[in-house]
Structure 1
Amino acid sequence: MLSVHDEALDRLAVALAAALPWVAFLPDADRRVFATESVETLRVCASVGRYAAFADLIEDWRNTAEVWSDPDLAALLAADIARRAVPAEDAASAARIEVQSGDGGRYGDQ
């Protein structure tokens, strides 16, 4: 059974999606998190009369929605980090190649 708080968050998530169409790209769980963070951030902003933090929150979530709007990018970013990581020996080899080519020492030459 949903609590009054849960029902209010669900209604807020729907209202935010109506006001900010990009919210439709967010997964359902993220919509609830966005609604919760919006309420908390607005409450704090209102207490000091400054809303820059809320504007930042909106921009951050819009950027998240942009990622979710691209299924290939979303799948890549949602993949297990260990599968995407470059093995340490490959990273070390790349660093050695960069230094040998002279690119890695450009700051030391100044």
Structure 2
Amino acid sequence: MTPEQKMNALFAAEAAPARDYGFQAEVVARIARRRAWMSILSLVPWLIAATAVLWALRPVISTAADRLDPVLVPVAMTLTLIGGSLVAARRLTRRLGRA
């Protein structure tokens, strides 16, 4: 028997390795977790820059906010109620869709 034939016989005799789905799921979860953290960490410089810009614009914003205060409170309340209603509707449709 030639060495090539011995190798072919050896590889033909072995069964293909079984897939470990638990291991694959854990690896995928770790990769997803790492990507999520990297995405969050990549936003930190933008957060610092936005904080600096808002700090610099504080006098202008406070003056405008004082003038718009009577208008902003009802608008903010309305938008909060609409947002809460949309979130509740989305959760209900997802929950009822599974049942």
**TM-score, normalised on structure 1?**
0.26
Higher relative contact order (CA 8 A, sep 6+): 1
